[in-house]
C-alpha cells in the first residue's frame, strides 16, 4: 500500500528550539503559516509513504486516511487453519516451524498497532516484560510504563523502544498497566503517536542509530531508547484532562497532524474538569506547532474521547471527521477546524447512564469513509459492558445540523417536559441499523449492541464486530442485514479484509477467518414462527451451522486475547495478542 520515497527535510524559515517538551519558535523573516494541504482527489486515499519499505507496508491505523479496514493489494494465499495445543511443547514447535517466521514478546497489554513500515514493525504495549533493567524496581519487578516497541521486519529482532513514565495524577488520567494504546503512524523516517502521558510525539524511526536529532534532552538515552524529534504536551499546553488514558491514532494529511485529545470527565464521572480544553487539535508535523484547536463537545462530554479522526473528500469538499465525546460526529475544514456539519448519532430521547442500561452512547470506533458516505457505530468504555447501539450511514452533502432528528420538547403523561425528536429536513442520514428488538424469543432486546470496532467495507459489503462478540454482515448501500454470528467472546479489534478473506480476533484469543462474498445470503437466525424458546434455540443453532458452512474458513485459537486488528503486509500475516506479536507465513514452510 506504500512505495518508497526520498526523505523530505524542507526548512520553513524558522528555528525550532525544543526544551523540556515545550516548543518555541524564533521567526526568521515572515511569520509561520499554516501548512498547505495537498489538493485532494476522488481516487482512493493513499497511505503515508515510507523510506525503504515494502510494496504493501501498513503505515497507519486503518491503512489509509479513510480508515477503511481493507487491503486491496496484498495476498493471503494460505494461513493456518488451526492452532496447536499451547500446553503441548511438541505441538507448539511443529506449528511454529510450519507457520511462524518470528515472534516477539510484548508486555501484558497490547493495543497499539501493529504498524509495518520501512523495514520495521511498531507496537504499543506496557512494561510487564522489560527490555531494559533500568525499567525495573529494586526487587527486579517491572515499573509500570507506556512502551512503543520497534522490531526488525525480517527477523523480529528488537531494535529500540520509547519509554514513558506514568502520569503522577494516577489512574484517573493514566490507567495502570494499560501501556501505550495509540497505533502510530509512519511517514518517511518519522513516526507519530500519542503517549500515555497525553503527549503527541514525533520520533526518528531509526532510534539513536543515526545520532540524536531534534530534542537533545530525552529522559532516556541508551542506544535502545527513542530519538524524539518533538513532542507536544496536551495537558501542559491545553489543560486537557484525559479520562483514564490517551489513545488517539494520529491522522496525517499533507503537513498537518489531527488528534483527538481524550479530554473527559473526572474520577467521579460527573464533573468535566476542563470543559473548555480542546477535544480536537491540528499540529504542524515538522515542528509540533499548534495550528488550531476546537472544543465543540465542551460540557456535553459524557465520559472520555478515545476515537480517531478520518479524512474525506465528499462531493469535492475536503473535510476532517472527528467523533466527539457527546455522541456527535463533526465534519471540519482541515486547515482551520471550522465546522462544516455535525450529526447526532443518538436518539433525541436517549439517556446516558454509567454502565449497561443507558440508551445514549459516544464512540470508541473510528469513522470510515466509503463511496462518499461515512459509517460509524456507537459504543462506550468496554467496562460499561453491552447495551443498545446503532450503526449509522450518512452522506454529508449539506451544511449545519444534518442529524436524523431535531430535538423537540413535549409534555409527558405526567405533565413533565420530555425531550423527543422530530424529522430533520436537513438530514443526511442514508440508513441506520439498531434500536429495539421486539420479536419473540430474541436473545437480546436490541438489534445491535455497542462496539469498539470500525467498519470494513469492500464490494459494497460491510463487516463489523460488536463488543459482546457478534460479527455482522450488511449491504453498505442499503443497510440490509445479511447475517450475524456470535463468537461468544468480546471483540476490541476490527474486521480486516485481504484477498477475499475477512479476519477478526476476540478476547478468547480466537482468530476467525471468513470467506468474503459479493452476494451474501440473508441468514436470519431468529425464527419468526417458533412456537417456544426451545424451537427458537434449535433454529438458531441450525442457522449458525449454515453460516459456518457458507463463510467460515478457519478458527485459530491463540494463547492470549487478541485486542488488535490483524494485518497483512509484504507477504506476512501479523497477529498481535495481548502478550506476543506473531509474524506468520502466508505460504506454509513445506509449500503445501
Instruction: Write the pLDDT tens digit of every residue in 139-163.
Output: 999 999 999 999 999 999 999 999 9
Q: What is the pLDDT of residues 430-455, one digit of tens each?
A: 999 999 999 999 999 999 999 999 99
Angle (CA) 42 47 52, round 5°: 140
Q: What is the pLDDT of residues 180-189, one digit of tens each?
A: 999 999 999 9
> Which of 314, 319, 353 minimizes the C-alpha distance to 336?
319
Q: Which domain holds residue 56?
A: 14-585
What is d(CA 263, CA 247) in angstroms, rounded to the nearest whole number? 11
Mean pLDDT of 202-226: 96
Q: Give the Å distances, CA to CA, from 54 to 119, 137, 205, 264, 367.
A: 7, 40, 15, 39, 27
Q: Is residue 394 part of a domain?
A: yes
pLDDT of residue 417: 86
Going by the DSSP 8-state scheme, the letter that residue 521 receives in this structure is P
Mean pLDDT of 192-205: 98
Q: Is residue 439 part of a domain?
A: yes
CB 149 within 8 A of CB 580: no
- CB within 8 A of 572, min separation 6: which ones? 101, 116, 153, 583, 584, 585, 586
> Which of 223, 237, 163 minimizes the C-alpha distance to 195?
163
| Burial classification of residue 323, based on how many CB atoms lie within 10 Å of its CB (0-12 exposed, 13-18 middle, 19 or more buried) | buried
What is d(CA 256, CA 235) in angstroms, rounded to the nearest whole number? 20
Phi first, then psi, for residue 538 (nearest 5°) are -60, -40
Which three cell numbers, joined as nine digits, stand for 453? 470496532
Question: How many structural domains are present in the chain?
Answer: 1
| Burial classification of residue 510, based on how many CB atoms lie within 10 Å of its CB (0-12 exposed, 13-18 middle, 19 or more buried) | buried
What is d(CA 106, CA 102) in angstroms, rounded to the nearest whole number? 13
Mean pLDDT of 338-364: 92
Q: Is residue 5 part of a domain?
A: no
Q: Is residue 318 part of a domain?
A: yes
On the question of pLDDT at 220 being above 50, the answer is yes
Q: Is residue 1 part of a domain?
A: no
Q: Is residue 225 part of a domain?
A: yes
Share of residues in the chain with pLDDT > 90 (%):
86
Classify residue 262 as left (phi > 0), alpha (psi -120 to 50) or beta: left
Which three cell numbers, joined as nine digits, stand for 237? 499546553
In this structure, the strands spanning 70-71 and 496-498 are: parallel
On the question of pLDDT at 580 being above 50, the answer is yes
CATH code, domain carrying 201: 2.130.10.10
Torsion of CA 167, 171, 174, 178, to 10 degrees: 130
Q: Is residue 250 part of a domain?
A: yes
Which three cell numbers, joined as nine digits, stand for 23? 516548543
CB atoms within 10 A of CB 181: 27
pLDDT of residue 53: 87
Which three cell numbers, joined as nine digits, stand for 347? 436518539
What is d(CA 590, CA 205) in angstroms, rounded to the nearest whole number? 35
Model confidence at 33, in pLDDT bands (50, 70, 90)?
Answer: low
- CB within 8 A of 229, min separation 6: which ones? 190, 202, 203, 204, 213, 214, 215
In this structure, the strands spanning 100-105 and 110-117 are: unpaired
What is d(CA 48, CA 54) in angstroms, rounded to the nearest whole number? 13
Model confidence at 37, in pLDDT bands (50, 70, 90)?
Answer: low
What is d(CA 1, CA 3) in angstroms, rounded to the nearest whole number? 7
Q: Is residue 49 part of a domain?
A: yes
What is d(CA 200, CA 202) in angstroms, rounded to the nearest whole number? 7
Matching residue, cell 424451537: 535
Amino acid at each position: 500500500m506504500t512505495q518508497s520515497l526520498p526523505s523530505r527535510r524542507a526548512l520553513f524559515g524558522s528555528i525550532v528550539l525544543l526544551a523540556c517538551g515545550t516548543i518555541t519558535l524564533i521567526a526568521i523573516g515572515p511569520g509561520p503559516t499554516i501548512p498547505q494541504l495537498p489538493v485532494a482527489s476522488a481516487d482512493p486515499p493513499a497511505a503515508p509513504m515510507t523510506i525503504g519499505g515494502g510494496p504493501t507496508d501498513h503505515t497507519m491505523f486503518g491503512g489509509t486516511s479513510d480508515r477503511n479496514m481493507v487491503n486491496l493489494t496484498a495476498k493471503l494465499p494460505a494461513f493456518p487453519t488451526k492452532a496447536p495445543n499451547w500446553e503441548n511443547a511438541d505441538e507448539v514447535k511443529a506449528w511454529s516451524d510450519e507457520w511462524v517466521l518470528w515472534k516477539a514478546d510484548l508486555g501484558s497489554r497490547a493495543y497499539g498497532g501493529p504498524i509495518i513500515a520501512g523495514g520495521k514493525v511498531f507496537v504499543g504495549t506496557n512494561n510487564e516484560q522489560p527490555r531494559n533493567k533500568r525499567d525495573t524496581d529494586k526487587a527486579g519487578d517491572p515499573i509500570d510504563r507506556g512502551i512503543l516497541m520497534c522490531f526488525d521486519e525480517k527477523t523480529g529482532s528488537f531494535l529500540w523502544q520509547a519509554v514513558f513514565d506514568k502520569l503522577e495524577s494516577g489512574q484517573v488520567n493514566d490507567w495502570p498497566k494499560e501501556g501505550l494504546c495509540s497505533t502510530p503512524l509512519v511517514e518517511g523516517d518519522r513516526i507519530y503517536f500519542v503517549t500515555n502521558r497525553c503527549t503527541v510525539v514525533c520520533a526518528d524511526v531509526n532510534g539513536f542509530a543515526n545520532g540524536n536529532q531534534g530534542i537533545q534532552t530525552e529522559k532516556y538515552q541508551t542506544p535502545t531508547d527513542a530519538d524524539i524529534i518533538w513532542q507536544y504536551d496536551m495537558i501542559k499546553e491545553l489543560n486537557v484532562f484525559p479520562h483514564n488514558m490517551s489513545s488517539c491514532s494520529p491522522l496525517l494529511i499533507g503537513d498537518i497532524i489531527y488528534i483527538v485529545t481524550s479530554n473527559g470527565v473526572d474520577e467521579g464521572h460527573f464533573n468535566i474538569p476542563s470543559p473548555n480544553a480542546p477535544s480536537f487539535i491540528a499540529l504542524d508535523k515538522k515542528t509540533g506547532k499548534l495550528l488550531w484547536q476546537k472544543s465543540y463537545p465542551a460540557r456535553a462530554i459524557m465520559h472520555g474521547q478515545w476515537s480517531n479522526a478520518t479524512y474525506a473528500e465528499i462531493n469535492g469538499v475536503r473535510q476532517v471527521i472527528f467523533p466527539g465525546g457527546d455522541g456527535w460526529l463533526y465534519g471540519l475544514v482541515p486547515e482551520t477546524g471550522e465546522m462544516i456539519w455535525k450529526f447526532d448519532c443518538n436518539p433525541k430521547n436517549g439517556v446516558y447512564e454509567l454502565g449497561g442500561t443507558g440508551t445514549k452512547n459516544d464512540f470508541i470506533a473510528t469513522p470510515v469513509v466509503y463511496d462518499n458516505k461515512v459509517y460509524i457505530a456507537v459504543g462506550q468504555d468496554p467496562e460499561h459492558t453491552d447495551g443498545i447501539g446503532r450503526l449509522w450511514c450518512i452522506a454529508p452533502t449539506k451544511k449545519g445540523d444534518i442529524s436524523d432528528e431535531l430535538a423537540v420538547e413535549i409534555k409527558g403523561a405526567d405533565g413533565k417536559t420530555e425531550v423527543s425528536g422530530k424529522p430533520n429536513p436537513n438530514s443526511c442520514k442514508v440508513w441506520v441499523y439498531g434500536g429495539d428488538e421486539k420479536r419473540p424469543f430474541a436473545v437480546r432486546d436490541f438489534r445491535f449492541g455497542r462496539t469498539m470496532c470500525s467498519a470494513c467495507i469492500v464490494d459494497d459489503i460491510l463487516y463489523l464486530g460488536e463488543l459482546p462478540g457478534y460479527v455482522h454482515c450488511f449491504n453498505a448501500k442499503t443497510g440490509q442485514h445479511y447475517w450475524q454470528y456470535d463468537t461468544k467472546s468480546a471483540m476490541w479489534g476490527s474486521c480486516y479484509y485481504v484477498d477475499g478473506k475477512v479476519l477478526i480476533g476476540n478476547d478468547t484469543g480466537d482468530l476467525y477467518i471468513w470467506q468474503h462474498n459479493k452476494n451474501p445470503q440473508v441468514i436470519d437466525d431468529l425464527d419468526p414462527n417458533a412456537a417456544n424458546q426451545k424451537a427458537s434455540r434449535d433454529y438458531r443453532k441450525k442457522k449458525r451451522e449454515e453460516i459456518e458452512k457458507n463463510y467460515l474458513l478457519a478458527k485459530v485459537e491463540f494463547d492470549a486475547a487478541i485486542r488488535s486488528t490483524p494485518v497483512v503486509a509484504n507477504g506476512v500475516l501479523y497477529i498481535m495478542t495481548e502478550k506476543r506479536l506473531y509474524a506468520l507465513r502466508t505460504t506454509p514452510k513445506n509449500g503445501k
